[in-house]
A = this chain, B = another copy of it.
Amino acid sequence: MSFKVPEDILICHEESKAKAFVEKVWGKRPTFICVIGNTETAKIPGISAAGAVPAITDFTPAADIELLYYGRCKCIDGVPVTPNGIPTPALVTMSAIGLTGMPFYAANGGVRVRPHAPYFELEGYPGEDIKNGAAVKDPKRVFENAIIAGENLAKVSDYLVVGESIAGGTTTALAVLLAMGYNADGKVSSTLSENPHSLKSAIAKEGISKSKSTPDQMKRDAMLAVAAVGDPMMPAAAGLIVGAARKVPVILAGGTQMAAVLAIVKAMEPKALDNVALGTTRWIIRDPTADLVGIVKQIGHVPVLAANLDFSPTKHEGLTFYEKGLVKEGVGAGGISIAAFCQSKGAITSKSMFAEIEKNYVKIMALAKH
């Protein structure tokens, strides 16, 4: 009997490769690693909703990691929310970790605020505002450190799931994709309901024009593109993926930010693309303001999968916003959900994930009130 991908996993691109990928990881035990970073770009008004106010976006990645490890945050009171009170997608990730007992690590690509929790240090620095064209210091060093960590993680895991938490990350994703010559304008997602495409595009183009590297140099060398207009999550995630993909499959867990990482991976080690899939949420795929698959198609024949998460039955206001297209993805929410479905051979479903998410929502919102 041939293998059948469950309905909870939507196949969005490269159907036969996608099926083969799901079959390859079915019943296997993954390790999840979440790469964190900060970029000053997040503080430009109107760019990010990953924090109640722009200044607090520095705390969001550290708070996400603490939530995953402890079920509560230490570096902030409550939990990360958008200005209108939508909880962080780490809520989905913590639910997947809780249901599976999946081993989980954090990796520091470059943060201003460090989590009160263990994490891989990779010698990165917090990112500057990409408008100035000099955003990330020495991305090559972080990339190389991350390769070593990825190779070692691959030795003890059937496969790796790499997520991210960095506010402002879709703007830097757009900028890096543009700098590398991809047609990404109007295609990246946003935490906000009104996707500020023209603002993002203006910032990205200003940064590219101010870079000391020429457009041709940035097209040829992904590390120059990252150094100019990227963010510190990117070289860390790309290195982990390249290192691990030499031995085991890797799910790039994220939306359009992970598409930018995919482009970097391709530039640094093209054959890594044979061993990866992009895993995201239904909300990203259904996002009318973005086009993830349209970006991935330009990069290569890489499967795109989406967890068919559905919050529409919820009575909790904070969760209804996900169905309205806000937040949608982050902290590896989509990819780790797919991994949870696969590890449990379908015993964990979208429905049981939703029940766990609602339970955790009540718990973390109770914390937020105290």
A residues within 8 Å of B by Cβ? 29, 31, 69, 101-105, 107-108, 114, 116-123, 141, 145-146, 148-149, 152-153, 155-157
Contact = CB atoms under 8 A, between A and B. Distances in A.
A173 B102 CA distance: 36
12 contacts: A31-B156, A69-B148, A103-B153, A103-B156, A104-B152, A107-B118, A114-B123, A116-B123, A118-B145, A118-B149, A156-B156, A156-B157
Nearest to A156: B156
Nearest to A116: B123
B120 A120 contact: yes
Contacts of A145: 116-118
Contact of A118 (B29, B114, B121): B121
Contacts of A114: 121, 123
Given A29-B156, A155-B101, A156-B157, A108 B121 contact: yes
Contacts of A119: 120-121
A103 B152 contact: yes
A148 B101 contact: no
Contacts of A108: 121
Contacts of A152: 103-105
Cβ-closest 9 pairs across A and B? A103-B155, A118-B149, A156-B156, A121-B121, A118-B145, A103-B152, A103-B156, A118-B120, A118-B122
A8 to B, nearest CB: 24
Nearest to A70: B148
A155 B107 CA distance: 18
A156 B69 CA distance: 17
A163 to B, nearest CB: 15
Contacts of A155: 101-103
A30 B116 CA distance: 27
